[in-house]
Amino acid sequence: MKRRTFIKSVGLHSAGALAAASVVRSAQSETEMARARWRHSVCRWCYSGVPLDELIKQSKAIGIASIELLDEPEWLQVRAAGLECAVANGPTTIPKGLNRTEHHDQIIAGAERLLPRVAAAGIPQMIVFSGNRAGLSDADGLRHCTDGLKRLMPIAESAGVTIIMELLNSKVDHKDYQCDHTAWGAELVQRVASDRFRLLYDIYHMQIMEGDVIRTIEQHHESIAHYHTGGVPGRREIDGSQELHYPAIVRAVTATGFSGFLAQEFIPSRAPFESLAQAVQICTV
């Protein structure tokens, strides 16, 4: 090879190497930005067989900032260990919720006791449920939930805590649950008309009920304060073994300007913390 050809060849290779290195640095930078942007959480009940101390240790190692859906003794333990609790359990249950006026006084009393404690612990959100239909029409359920939540809002607003109602499927897991479609929940948000009431959009549940996940998030994101994951079918790992493509979903959530928590809520079928670490990586886009 002639000297000039050799130098030219080396120059081309050097330029290619520099370009490749630049791409790698850019990819690493984007990953670091994504990790900084996303606040990951994990639902306690999916690891109910694991001692809380171990879940705290593993969550920290993975880079998870929050363990959620906790009662008071556990959220105090999590906070003491340096993690957040993104969502505290509230004074309703899945079958017995705000859609029945006869439950309202008991729910309000529970909220009056809980919300100041939730606020003092620095927990931003408390979960509630609509309850099951049990023959109640969706129109009446909407009206009753609105009435109950409007009684709750002054307490939540004073405490600075957001009440979130979870969207659940009534097809597979929670037969007869009323808040089972995003449009119904979004209408409830409009009627309550408080910055302290929003929805918990569970991607697993809403894929089962209505599909069209990305478009629904784009359309109703202003009514959503929190997200849960889960593989469909079976609420297993959120990898290529199921029908949802979480990187695209998370990008869609990011595009809405969302800055809250994304919580992993799947039941591991393999080594639990390897699956949890993989899920966090999948969702860091």
Residue 18 lies in a domain: no
Distance between CA atoms of 255 and 243, rounded to whole angstroms? Answer: 22
Confidence of residue 34 (pLDDT cuts 50, 70, 90): very low
Residue 11 lies in a domain: no
Give long-range contacts, CB 8 A cutoff, 24+ apart: 69-73: 69/43, 69/44, 69/45, 69/127, 70/44, 72/114, 72/117
Residue 4 lies in a domain: no
Confidence (pLDDT) at 37: 62
Residue 131 lies in a domain: yes
Given a cut of 50, is residue 18 above it in pLDDT?
no
Residue of 265, 245, 244, 193 whose CA lies nearest to 222: 193
Residue of 67, 26, 80 whose CA lies nearest to 265: 67
Location of structure tokens 């290195």 = 21
Residue 96 lies in a domain: yes
**Strand (E) or helix (H) holding 40:** strand 39-43
Task: Check residue 70 and report its DSSP letter.
Answer: B
Task: Check residue 240 and report its DSSP letter.
Answer: T
Confidence (pLDDT) at 220: 98
Q: What is the pLDDT of residues 45-55, one digit of tens each?
A: 999 999 999 99
Residue of 21, 72, 67 whose CA lies nearest to 48: 67
Confidence (pLDDT) at 209: 98
Confidence (pLDDT) at 62: 97
Given a cut of 70, is residue 167 above it in pLDDT?
yes
- Say which amino acid occupies 205: H
Confidence of residue 28 (pLDDT cuts 50, 70, 90): very low
Question: What is the extent of the structural domain holding 155?
Answer: 38-271+278-283
Confidence of residue 13 (pLDDT cuts 50, 70, 90): very low
Q: What is the pLDDT of residues 253-279, one digit of tens each?
A: 999 999 999 999 999 999 999 999 999
Domain at 133, CATH number: 3.20.20.150
Residue 252 lies in a domain: yes
Q: What is the DSSP string of 121-186?
A: TT--EEEE---B-TT--HHHHHHHHHHHHHHHHHHHHHHT-EEEEEP--TTTTSTTBS--SHHHHH
Residue 141 lies in a domain: yes
Location of structure tokens 């910055």 = 195
Residue 21 lies in a domain: no
In the chain, how many domains are there?
1
Distance between CA atoms of 278 and 282, rounded to whole angstroms? Answer: 6
